[in-house]
Chain A
Amino acid sequence: MIRLRINGLEREVEIPHPMYRLLDVLREDIGLTGAKEGCGEGECGACAVLLNGVLVNSCLIPASQVDEADILTPEGLAETEAGKLLAKCFTECHGAQCGFCTPGMMMAAAELLFTNRKPTEVEIREALAGNICRCTGYDMIIDAVQLATERGANIW
């Protein structure tokens, strides 16, 4: 049994086996399916969440290591002003095509802007380099993050 806070709510979760991952806790136990499993080996970033404010691939985090942790998932981000702004910018700039990488991209973009209010294009590209997108070629995702940077001056 672990206790952790997910999107601001206290949760208790049974861990059925040592290989149980934070991604399983989110998707199976809590029913939060915003974080996606793209590869299951930490390469693609589709399962990205913030763990105590730090961007992680939740498929690589053993559930047993997140006792007492604070987790922000795409659903939690979407409730915040920052998340709403980012979602709107991704939608306007067509930063989402198939959408499967998008929640993870949103998490990576949020972590970047929370720590760097005015990133350059190079900094944006580096911050998103752990999230693979096969649809967009990344350009419109960069556009979306740049738009969020401009519009969210008072948020970040």
Chain B
Amino acid sequence: MKSISQSIPRPDGMAKADGSALYVADLQFDGTEGGRSPDGAVALGSESGLSKDMLLGRFYRSPYPRGKIRRLQLPECPPGYHIISAADIPQGGKNEIPMAASRDMPCFAENEIRYAGQIVALVAGPDAYEIERLIRAIELEVDETPVVKNIDEALALKGGAIHGEDNIFCRVDLDEGEVDEVFAGAASVVEGVYETGFQEQFYMEGQGLIAWRTGNKCGVRGSMQCPYYVHHAVSHVLGLKHDEIRVIADTIGGGFGGKEDYPEIMGAPLAVASWVSGKPIRMLMDRVEDMAFTSKRHPSRCVYRSALDSEGRILAIDATVDLDGGAYETYTKIVLMRAVFHSLGVYAIPVFRIRGRGIATNTVPSGAFRGFGAPQSLFGIEMHMEEIARRNRCEVLDYKRNYFLKKGDTTVTGGIFRDEIILDKLIAEAERLSGYSGKRIKLGRGKGQGIGMSFILHGCGFTGDGEQKIIKGKAVLKKHRDDKVEILCAAVDFGQGPQTTFRKVVARVLGIEPNTVIFNYPDTDFVPDSGPTVASRTIMIVGYLLQKAAEELKAIWVEGEEQVVEQNYQMPPGMSWDQERLRGDSYATYGWGVNVCEVELDFLTWETKVIGAWAVFDVGRAVDHRVVNGQIQGGMSQALGYGAMEKLEVDSKGQFRQITMADYMVPTSVDFPRTEALTVDNPYLYGAFGAKGMGEMVHDGGHAAFAAAVEQACGKACTTIPLVPETLMEIMEA
């Protein structure tokens, strides 16, 4: 039998290539009341929000970055137009977005403004020009307070605290051993400060949703990763019961985390407007609004101090991990947890103290982005290890090898690495492909050429017992009377491949063709809550539930009968977690990887040119090689963009300076060479056909490998990304 890893053509490929796949902006009223398109892919009709009287919606956003709201004056509305604000939230509903770890962000600003662009009102109506006129006629008066633009201003409490008394949203601390004692007896100490900037997800399709009302039911559909997150947010803001809400995910033009939290932030006020007006409303963000006001990757500053003995060996690490959370806490706590839990990378350090802080500023609330904190702290530890190896006059790979984690070692939270760790095999493959060690020696230092290698681990699935206690994922297989099998779960394919891989998993167990398996985009009226499409959990957690369901269905299969099987998530045996103390197994298992990057540096312009990129990963087992390699190559491209070119700054009001595609640079087809991608099998017992999570870790290390290569090429420490030419010039002329 063929390996499950052998690639098949993407089942969703043809519709995407011929332009017939319908994204939220493409949906049109088809004259029906309801039902689905002939191929089942699209929910149609007025019952699904598509009616001929659909209005356009736009937000009125605060032009002020910070202050108390003194007065909000809304203009008279002409017939057919609606202006909705905090006062319109119905009784029983709450003016707050109920995020996974916090509820501090209001749906509509009511008392205070915390960032320029905060949603204050929503204007809906049939004509875009009239909507624009009404938005301009809204009067907002704010008693302004000095704006906090970054971590330093936040810690200095500029203008008083934004949040609490100290601007600290949340802390995550880890301690092991007597750090101060070890430092007091150390032969030397190496210290470094490592900084990363904002990063824009840059999904090609902007945010877009439709909200509608059918009697006492509220619907939201469109571009989203997590239909049940939107469901939950609408329920909270409108005070509706579970079965009074319907959320439908449509074909989605990319996410990368950017459509994890934002569809809640956007969908909740849109649902209020539709509920109050009784009209279906479509809101499509243009690129400028999307780039200016949707959540970005948290900027970070990590300080690592290492105590070394007289032989240069690491005795202890004392580190701080600071994340700029923006104006509201939203997801910062859980991003910070992941950043801190990954802050020692693939290294076993006996004694450590990690202090993580999520910090309040007056910028757009930072949010989810592929990697979720790990790309920030892994950059810190990888560049710090480079520095220590340099001080020791030691080849960095040889130095790092001394500290590689092994099976049975303790995690930073006191859990156990239970599965085989095959870093040596991954390195051997990376060496074979890239010729790293030979080049590293040959290229010298400061001679305009360099090659860097970075190491990655990434905890798969939700942190700790989140899958068991919070998500409680459930997946269903339904066999119809014609013996066609349908997957019912809430996972969304936003490019990362479950339309392909889930069909393969189910089909392989049942011995049927993948293309015969029905798998529509989720509609909460029909699918159970298998959890959000995030956290590298989809193939490992939901895919495994589907594999188990298929095994069960196979055992009870009766031709010509409708049969339904359901599987519920269970924590793998032996895993334990204490959420109060953050102790135990923070993740069920880990993906591992090695990235290599080779660069040339132009000493006149300080431009860098990537001339080689290689990535070798342990993803457990690839359910489809092309799906996995596509993630590896796309992730490398984003990570190299993060390291080399994607500069995003804020102005004096805390607003982003780069808000068009012309200003914010992402990689094009000519910027980077092909990424040579490879996986090495190391099957995981509780993942679909051995698969572990991998969608995020492909973005965890490319920027560090790039920066390490640039350090070799320029001969100086490069501790801040992105390393755009002006940054490199500052480094070289300092």
Contacts and interface: CB of A to CB of B under 8 A. Distances in A.
Q: Do A and B bind each other?
A: yes
Taking residues whose C-beta sits less than 8 angstroms from the other chain, chain A's interface range is: 35 or more
B19 A73 contact: yes
Kindly list the 8 A-B residue pairs having the minimum CB-CB distance in the complex, ordered from nearest: A34-B19, A99-B16, A91-B13, A100-B253, A97-B495, A137-B637, A98-B495, A74-B19
Given A33-B26, A91-B13, A134-B256, 5 more contacts: A78-B20, A91-B10, A106-B17, A134-B254, A137-B667
Contacts of B206: 38
A44 B17 contact: no
Nearest to B628: A94
Given A128-B669, A134-B254, A102 B633 contact: no
A136 B667 CA distance: 11
A34 to B, nearest CB: 2
A124 B662 CA distance: 22
A33 B22 contact: yes
Nearest to A87: B17
Contact of A39 (B9, B661, B667): B661
5 contacts: A40-B286, A40-B287, A100-B204, A135-B630, A138-B633
B661 A137 contact: no
A41 to B, nearest CB: 6
A101 B20 CA distance: 13
Contact of A90 (B17, B26, B287, B669): B17
Interface of A: 27, 31-41, 43-44, 46, 73-75, 78, 83, 86-88, 90-103, 106, 124-126, 128-142
A78 B13 CA distance: 13
Nearest to B16: A99
A80 to B, nearest CB: 11
A75 B626 CA distance: 26
Contacts of B19: 32-35, 73-75, 78, 103, 106
A126 B670 contact: yes
A44 B205 CA distance: 11
B204 A96 contact: no
A147 to B, nearest CB: 12
B254 A103 contact: no
Nearest to A125: B669
A99 B12 contact: yes
Contact of B630 (A27, A40, A88, A140): A140
B116 interface: no
Contacts of A125: 669-670
Given A75-B19, A101-B204, A96 B669 contact: no
A100 B202 CA distance: 12
Interface of B: 7, 9-10, 12-23, 25-26, 28, 201-206, 251-256, 286-287, 494-497, 626-627, 629-630, 633-638, 660-662, 666-670, 672, 674-675
A45 to B, nearest CB: 10
A143 to B, nearest CB: 9
Given A99-B495, A126-B670, A136 B634 contact: yes
Contact of B633 (A46, A74, A140): A140
A103 B667 contact: no
Contacts of A137: 633-638, 667, 672, 675
B204 A38 contact: yes
- Tell me which of A94, A103, A130, A138 has the highest count of chain B C-beta atoms within 10 A of its own C-beta: A94
A5 B496 CA distance: 37
Contact of A98 (B26, B203, B287): B203
Contact of A134 (B15, B26, B634): B634
Contacts of B254: 97-98, 100, 134-135
A129 B667 CA distance: 9
A102 B16 contact: yes
A75 B18 contact: yes
B285 to A, nearest CB: 11
B204 A94 contact: no
B253 A36 contact: yes
Contacts of B497: 97
A90 B9 CA distance: 9
Contacts of A37: 25
A138 B22 CA distance: 23
A103 B634 CA distance: 18
Nearest to B255: A98
B28 A98 contact: no
B17 A102 contact: yes
B251 A99 contact: yes
B201 to A, nearest CB: 8
Nearest to A44: B661
Nearest to B28: A31
Contacts of A75: 18-20
Contacts of B252: 98
B13 A94 contact: yes
Given A74-B18, A96-B16, A102-B16, A134 B202 contact: yes
Contacts of B672: 137
A39 B675 CA distance: 27
Given A40-B286, A41-B287, A137-B637, A97 B17 contact: no
A124 to B, nearest CB: 8
A41 B288 CA distance: 10
Q: Which of B18, B19, B253, B495 has the most CB of A within 10 A?
A: B19
Contacts of B205: 36, 38, 98, 100
Nearest to A33: B26
Nearest to B668: A129
Residue among A92, A131, A135, A137 with the most chain B CB within 10 A? A137
A92 B287 contact: no
Contacts of A124: 669
Nearest to A92: B9
Contacts of B28: 31, 33
B638 A139 contact: no
A131 B255 CA distance: 18
A139 B22 CA distance: 25
Contacts of A44: 204, 661
A36 B205 CA distance: 8
A131 B202 CA distance: 13
Contacts of A135: 204, 254, 495, 630, 634
B661 A96 contact: no
